[in-house]
Amino acid sequence: MAGQRGQLAYKLVSLLAVVFLLIGCGGPSATELATVNYTPSTKDVWPVSTPAEQGLDPQLVAELYYNASQLETVYSLLVFKNGYLIAEDYLNIGTPYRRVNIHSVTKSITSALVGIAIEEGCISGVDQKMMDFFPELKRQITDPRKNEITIQQMLQMRAGYPWEESTDDLMDLLVTGFHNDTLVHVPLVRDPGSDSEYSNLTPHILGIIVARACDTDLMSFAQEHLFDPLEIEPGFWQQDWDGNYLGFSDINLSSTDLAKFGLMIANDGVYDGKQIVPADWVDESLQVYSKKTWKYRVGSNWKDNGYGYQWWSIKAGNYRYNLAWGHGGQQIAIVKDLDMVIVLLVDPLHLKWGDEPWRIEKSNLNLVADFIASLPKD
């Protein structure tokens, strides 16, 4: 009997230890939250306010910034509500104007440039064919399906080109760099328009199309039609072997730059009273055309992922948000229902892949998704 009582007592103590551990993991304490300071510092750039004044629970915002401080690669975190900067902080080596490689956030910028090129009349519309812009390569095409790929299918990641990380050979191609004729040599893995397949080559070709159609280079076109109107001074932008600026990655921008771009998209293409990107293009870009484009688990609040025109769409809690997402966890998150924009700039983990970088990236993605999921429905 004494032995049974001893075993029972041991099990009870073990159970209580688990309960206390779970309670301790429930979130930061009031003392820890009291140390958080997210008061905006760039008041000369944005109109500022507070979470409470804009209808947000300050406690939830404090938890967001505390959780950000626990992550090893976060540089900048900005939250805008109703056009006001309500929270801002810089961690590790982050500053408002530190430029880093935003990786695939570049894809969302390329999408905007395609919309502008159509508005300018360089491209006739989204139904125009990819091969219209590569006449010198037409005789090299052996797969007739490539002649039918449209700009719209490319924007939707439905061109049929593969994800480069799916094979070692394609990964080597991604690392070593594309040429113009890469679109000929990389085989399609599905019929164009049939389903989505995440690809870096696809938006890179879109960038080349914009440059060729508008008789310029992608940087010059972006500078004139997007960066200058947004008062953005971009840093380094990588070019491929044939001199084309990468339409899918490798432009260096700051969190302030990303915020300007995100606020413009959230405001239907308008920034500082000027229409930068056509409003109907912004609307089309943020629709969901493909579902379950990303097939790998991210987190419990990262659900129902879909894809628009080079923009992700994620369901978190009561809200669906649009996301420009780059390797390492770079993010511009737009929650239209809340008139909210969140910018997260992190260590880009350049040329780092595998389980550990993916663990870090997931933590950064979940930081934003978990915060959005925590917000109550109005």
**CB within 8 A of 178, min separation 6: which ones?**
201, 204, 240, 241, 244
pLDDT in tens, the chain (378 residues): 444 444 444 344 344 333 333 344 468 888 888 788 999 999 999 999 999 999 999 999 999 999 999 999 999 999 999 999 999 999 999 999 999 999 999 999 999 999 999 999 999 999 999 999 999 999 999 999 999 999 999 999 999 999 999 999 999 999 999 999 999 999 999 999 999 999 999 999 999 999 999 999 999 999 999 999 999 999 999 999 999 999 999 999 999 999 999 999 999 999 999 999 999 999 999 999 998 888 889 999 999 999 999 999 999 999 999 999 999 999 999 999 999 999 999 999 999 999 999 999 999 999 999 999 999 987
**CB within 8 A of 343, min separation 6: which ones?**
76, 77, 78, 80, 255, 258, 259, 262, 331, 332, 333
Q: Helices 355-374 and 58-69 sit at what angle, rounded to 10 degrees?
A: 170
Give the pairing type, strands 100-101 and 303-307.
unpaired
The whole-angstrom separation of Cα 57 and Cα 47 is 19
The whole-angstrom separation of Cα 86 and Cα 42 is 11
Residue 28 burial by CB count (10 A; 0-12/13-18/19+): exposed, middle or buried?
middle
Per domain, the residue ranges of the chain are: 100-374
Spell out the CATH class of 100-374: alpha beta
Q: What string of DSSP letters covers 255-297?
A: HHHHHHHHHHHHTTTEETTEE-S-HHHHHHHTS--EE----S-
Are residues 235 and 251 in contact, defined by beta-carbon separation less than 8 angstroms?
yes
Instruction: List strand residue ranges (DSSP E) for 163-289, in order.
Output: 252-253, 270-271, 274-275
